[in-house]
Amino acid sequence: MSNEDSNFMEEFLDQHDYEQPQVGDIRKGIIVAVTPQGVIVDLGLKRDGLVPSSDLSKLEPEEREALQINDEISIYVTNTDAPDSLLVSIHLAQLNQDWIDAEALMESGDIMEGEVIGYNKGGAIIPFGRLRGFVPASHLSELSRGLNDRQRQQKLAKLRGEKIPVKVIEVDRRRRRLVFSQRDAQKEWEDQRKKELLQDLNEGDVLTGRVSGLRDFGIFVDLGGADGLVHISELAWYRIAHPREVVKVGDEIEVYVLNINADSQRISLSRKRLLENPWSTVNKRYHENQLVEGTITRIVDYGAFAEIEPGVEGLLHVSQLSRSQVDNASEVVNEGETHLLRIVSIDSNRQRIGLSLRQVSASEQIEWMATREVEEEADEPEEETSVSTEPEMEAEAETEVEADVESDEPVAEESAEPVAEESNEENSEDEAETAEPEPEPEGNEVEESSEEEAETAKPEPEDSETDEDES
381 phi and psi angles, rounded to 5 deg? -70, -20
Beta strands in 232-367 (DSSP E): 252-261, 266-270, 291-300, 303-309, 312-317, 338-347, 352-356
- Tell me, what's the pLDDT at 398? 42
- Tell me, what's the pLDDT at 216? 92
- Tell me, what's the pLDDT at 434? 37
For residue 269, what are the β-bridge partners? 230, 257
From first to last of its 471 residues, the chain has per-residue pLDDT tens of 555 555 555 554 454 444 678 887 888 899 999 888 889 999 888 888 899 988 888 888 888 888 899 989 888 888 888 777 889 998 888 888 899 899 999 999 899 999 999 998 889 999 998 899 999 988 998 787 778 888 888 888 888 999 999 999 999 988 889 999 999 888 888 777 788 888 888 888 999 999 999 999 999 998 877 889 999 999 988 888 899 999 999 899 999 999 988 778 889 999 988 888 888 888 889 999 999 999 999 899 999 999 998 888 899 999 999 888 888 898 899 999 999 999 999 998 888 999 999 999 989 989 999 888 888 888 765 544 444 444 444 444 444 434 343 333 433 333 333 333 333 444 433 443 333 444 444 443 433 444 344 343 344 434 433 343 433
3-state secondary structure of 363: helix
Antiparallel, parallel or unpaired: β 85-89 and 118-120? unpaired
Measured over all CA atoms, what is the biggest interatomic distance in the chain, rounded to whole angstroms? 157
Residue (of 224, 166, 167, 156) closest to 195 by Cα position: 224
- Tell me, what's the pLDDT at 421? 38
Q: Can you give the C-alpha Rg of the chain in angstroms?
A: 42
Half-sphere exposure of 419 (CA within 13 A, CB side): 6
User: Beta-carbon neighbour count of residue 442 at 10 Å?
Assistant: 18
AA identity, residue 36? P
Burial class (CB in 10 A: 0-12, 13-18, 19+), 195: middle
Are 184 and 108 a contacting pair, CB within 8 Å? no
Are 218 and 234 a contacting pair, CB within 8 Å? yes
Residue (of 317, 325, 319) closest to 300 by Cα position: 317
Write the DSSP symbol of residue 459.
P
Residue (of 275, 342, 349) closest to 314 by Cα position: 342
266 phi and psi angles, rounded to 5 deg? -115, 140
Antiparallel, parallel or unpaired: β 312-317 and 352-356? parallel
Return d(Cα 177, Cα 119) in angstroms, integer.
16
Residue (of 251, 269, 252) closest to 260 by Cα position: 269
Residue (of 112, 104, 127) closest to 192 by Cα position: 112
AA identity, residue 401? V
Pinpoint the alpha helices (H) of 129-238.
149-159, 183-200
Are 298 and 335 a contacting pair, CB within 8 Å? yes
- Tell me, what's the pLDDT at 382? 53
3-state secondary structure 78-142: EECCCCCEEEEEHHHHHHHHHHHHHHHHHHHCCCEEEECCEEECCEEEEEECCEEEEEEHHHCCC
Sheet holding 123-128, edge to edge: 112-115, 163-172, 177-181, 131-136, 123-128, 118-120
For residue 347, what are the β-bridge partners? 352
- Tell me, what's the pLDDT at 305? 93
Return d(Cα 427, Cα 353) in angstroms, integer.
41
Write the DSSP symbol of residue 281.
G
